[in-house]
Chain A
Amino acid sequence: MSTTPETAVPAEETAGHGDISVGVPGAGAEFGAGSGDAAASATRITPGNALRPEDIALAVSRGTAKPSDDAAEYALRLGDDALILAQRLGHWISRGPELEEDIALGNIALDQLGHARSFLSYAGGAYAKDGKPGKTEDDLAYFRREPEFRSVEIFEQPNGDFAVTIARQFVVSYYQYELYRRLTESTDATLAGIAAKAVKEVDYHRDHSAQWVLRLALGTDESREKMIHAFQVIWPYVDELFRDDELTARLAGTGAAVEPSSLRADFDRLTGEVLAEAELDVPQVKAAPGGGRRGLHSEHLGYLLAEMQVLAREYPGATW
Chain B
Amino acid sequence: MNDSTAPAAAPAPHTAGNVWPLWEVFVRSSRGLSHVHAGSLHAPDAVMALRNARDLYTRRNEGVSIWVVPADAIASSDPDSKGAFFESPQGKDYRHATYYTKSEGVKHL
Residues of A within 8 A of B (CB): 40, 42-43, 45-48, 98-101, 103-104, 107, 204, 207-208, 211, 215
Contact = CB atoms under 8 A, between A and B. Distances in A.
A100 B44 CA distance: 11
Interface of B: 20, 29-31, 33, 41-44, 47-48, 51-52, 54-56, 59-62
A47 B31 contact: no
Q: Which of B51, B54, B56, B59 has the most CB of A within 10 A?
A: B51
B17 to A, nearest CB: 13
Contact of A103 (B20, B31, B47, B56): B56
A47 B55 contact: no
A42 B55 contact: no
A98 B20 contact: yes
Nearest to A48: B61
A22 to B, nearest CB: 16
A42 B56 contact: no
Nearest to B41: A100
Q: Is the interface of A mostly helix, strand, loop or mixed?
A: helix
Contacts of B59: 107
A125 B54 CA distance: 35
B59 to A, nearest CB: 7
Nearest to B19: A98
A48 B62 CA distance: 10
Nearest to B20: A98
A104 B61 contact: no
Contact of A104 (B42, B52, B60): B52
Nearest to A215: B44
B43 A100 contact: yes
Contacts of B61: 45-48
21 contacts: A40-B30, A40-B31, A42-B29, A42-B30, A42-B31, A43-B29, A45-B61, A45-B62, A47-B61, A98-B42, A100-B20, A100-B41, A100-B52, A103-B55, A103-B56, A104-B51, A104-B52, A107-B55, A107-B59, A211-B48, A215-B48
A211 B30 CA distance: 27
